[in-house]
Amino acid sequence: MILLLAVIAGLLAGAARAWIKRRNYQPIQLRYIWLIVIAFLPQWLAFFLPVTRRVIPSWLASLSLILSLVLMLVFILLNFSINRFGFLILGLGLGLNLLVIASNGGLMPISPENASRLTPQIPAETWKSGNRFGKTKDVILATEETNFLPLSDCFISPDWLHYRFVFSLGDILVAIGIFWVLWEPGGDDMVVDQRSSTKDMIHKPGS
Amino acid sequence: MKSLVSEITLKVGRINPQYVRLTWILLALSMMALGIGAPADGGGGIPR
């Protein structure tokens, strides 16, 4: 959920940039959006929808995750030319997550220590290596058993932040990529097509 | 009924295509954010 903040922040920053530059905010034209919907569907069933995630076994959940990430990577490649830097960073983040997930059995590894920090009310010894972390996309793996450890969910939000979450290096890149994709259209130098532009989308100051 | 349908059609036709495009972009990027990253960040499925 924390990555959704990147979507909100990117949109607000892009709109602010357009306003400062006295331009219209021109959202990019993504292609094959239906592919994202199809890609997200298996994950939605395996990890998000409570009714289905209870009954879907871990092997199927991990298969869904990998299939979903591969389809998302295809989507990024198909849209790469629209915003090269944004989609490069986004694709790199996805690729790193996919690498660590695929090389650790199909789920994102998390150490028992980080798992217990996320769930302080559950005894730390509950988290045995190899078990799935609840019904999330994570699997408990000791650090010595984790392939590509620096790419796993090894970062945790600081203690002073009330909301605890873990994240990976790939997640950071994904957040930057999403932010960039939404921020960049706010300052584009492209010629505005008067027929399709929204003059009222971002009001120019003083107009 | 006919007037209701035509009224809805008219209102939908007035929606700026840029807003529709932006909505799709936000939807797609949100699905990517949820799908690619932040697997265990306090969202659903974490044992409590």
pLDDT at B44: 55
Residue A147 has pLDDT above 90, yes or no: yes
Residue-by-residue pLDDT tens, chain B, 48 positions: 778 888 877 777 777 888 888 899 999 999 988 888 765 544 456 666
Residue A119 has pLDDT above 90, yes or no: no
Is the residue at B45 inside a domain?
no
Is the residue at B3 inside a domain?
no
* CA distance to partner chain A, nearest, from residue B3 (Å): 29
pLDDT at A170: 93
> Cβ separation of A133 and B47 shorter than 8 Å?
yes
pLDDT at B39: 52
Is the residue at B18 inside a domain?
yes
Is the residue at B16 inside a domain?
yes
Is the residue at B2 inside a domain?
no
Interior CA angle at A1 toward A44 and A56, to 5°? 25
Q: Which amino acid is at A128?
A: K
Q: Decide if the complex's ipTM is over 0.90.
A: no
Residue A13 has pLDDT above 90, yes or no: yes
A46 has a chain B CB within 8 A of its CB? no
* Extents of the domains making up chain A: 4-29+85-187
Mean pLDDT for the stretch of residues A102-128:
88
d(CA A47, CA A57): 11
Is the residue at B44 inside a domain?
no
Domain that residue B26 falls in: 9-33
pLDDT band for A205, please (50, 70, 90 cuts): very low
pTM above 0.95, yes or no: no
Number of domains in chain B: 1
Closest CA to A89 of A194, A182, A174: A174
d(CA A12, CA A22): 15
d(CA B33, CA A1): 8
Is the residue at B22 inside a domain?
yes
* CA distance to partner chain B, nearest, from residue A30 (Å): 7
